[in-house]
């Protein structure tokens, strides 16, 4: 039985085509968030979001991040977003995605070259990219660095596949919510990418970030092929080494 997402109130039609000012990075190696996946009255899955560490990618340090959702809601549900992000310029340099909703993305590794404005798929020919590229996984961290103003819609022309730009980030409202990890004041955003993943327009993903300097992802509500689920924070381990 699919559950519908709560409709967000109307937001201002104003669009800011310039990326919001970036905040000091609230994350770093060692940060880990764990989630329970709720589907109606059931808790059929688990998720996590973490910065695994800093790794060398083509001679430069890159943050290795991973977002995972696993569960069984009548059918198996598995999502993986694994990103390597240049530590200095905060641009994607490698991306791996595995999605039950989009089987065409399975077993694909994207190598992204910000200096050359290109990317490759599984080592194939170089294709055109964009300046300061981002992927889905990197986007989860980038929004945590933005100064988000309620009622604004931000257009980010930074998705590494140019035909899927602009990425839209709607800042919907502030909300106080209770999850297993506690009660949080949050700011609610809706990211939209022209894709079939969890951030597609059909997915209607709502991300609840803690309304403080940490910008922890407290909750994500998203529509999957099996229905609407809510990822709710159960624990947060702060970074062992924050990045200035």
147 falls within a domain: yes
Domain containing 125 — which CATH number? 2.40.360
Q: How many domains does the chain have?
A: 1
Beta carbons of 100 and 118 less than 8 angstroms apart: no
pLDDT in tens, the chain (244 residues): 333 333 334 333 344 444 445 556 899 999 999 999 987 767 778 999 999 999 999 999 999 999 998 877 655 678 899 999 998 899 999 999 887 655 565 678 999 999 999 999 999 999 999 999 999 999 999 999 999 999 999 999 999 999 999 999 999 999 999 999 999 999 999 999 987 777 876 658 999 999 999 999 999 998 776 667 899 999 999 998 655 5
Tell me if 7 is assigned to some domain: no
Q: Is residue 1 part of a domain?
A: no
DSSP 174-230: EEEEEETTEEEEEEEEEEE-SSSSTTSTTTT-EEEEESSTT--EEEEEEEETTEEEE
Whether 2 is covered by a domain: the verdict is no
Say how far apart CA 144 and CA 172 lie, in whole Å: 15
Which pTM was predicted? 0.84
Residue 198 falls within a domain, yes or no?
yes
Residue 211 falls inside a structural domain: yes
Whether residue 213 is contained in a domain is answered as yes
Residue-number span of the structural domain to which 106 is assigned: 15-237
């Amino acid at each position: 039985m699919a559950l519908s997402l709560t409709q967000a109130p109307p937001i201002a039609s104003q669009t800011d085509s310039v990326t919001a000012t970036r905040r000091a990075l609230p994350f770093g190696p060692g940060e880990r968030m764990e989630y329970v996946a709720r589907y109606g009255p059931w808790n059929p899955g688990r998720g996590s979001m973490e910065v695994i560490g800093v790794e060398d990618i083509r001679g430069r340090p890159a943050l290795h991040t991973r977002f995972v959702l696993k569960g069984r809601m009548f059918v198996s549900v598995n999502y993986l977003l694994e990103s390597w992000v240049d530590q200095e310029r905060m641009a994607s340099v490698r991306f791996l995605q595995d999605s039950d909703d989009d089987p065409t993305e399975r077993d694909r590794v994207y190598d992204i070259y910000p200096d050359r404005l290109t990317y490759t798929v599984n080592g194939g020919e170089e294709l055109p990219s964009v300046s300061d590229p981002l992927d889905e996984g990197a986007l989860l961290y980038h929004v945590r660095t933005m100064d988000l103003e309620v009622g604004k819609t931000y257009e980010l022309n930074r998705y590494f596949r140019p035909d899927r730009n602009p990425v839209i980030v709607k800042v919907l409202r502030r909300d106080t919510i209770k999850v297993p990890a506690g009660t949080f004041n949050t700011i609610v955003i809706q990211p939209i990418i022209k894709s079939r993943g969890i951030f597609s327009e059909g997915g209607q993903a709502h991300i609840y970030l803690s309304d403080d300097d940490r910008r922890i992802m407290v909750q994500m509500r998203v529509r999957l092929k099996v229905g609407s689920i809510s990822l709710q924070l159960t624990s947060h381990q702060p970074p062992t080494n924050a990045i200035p």
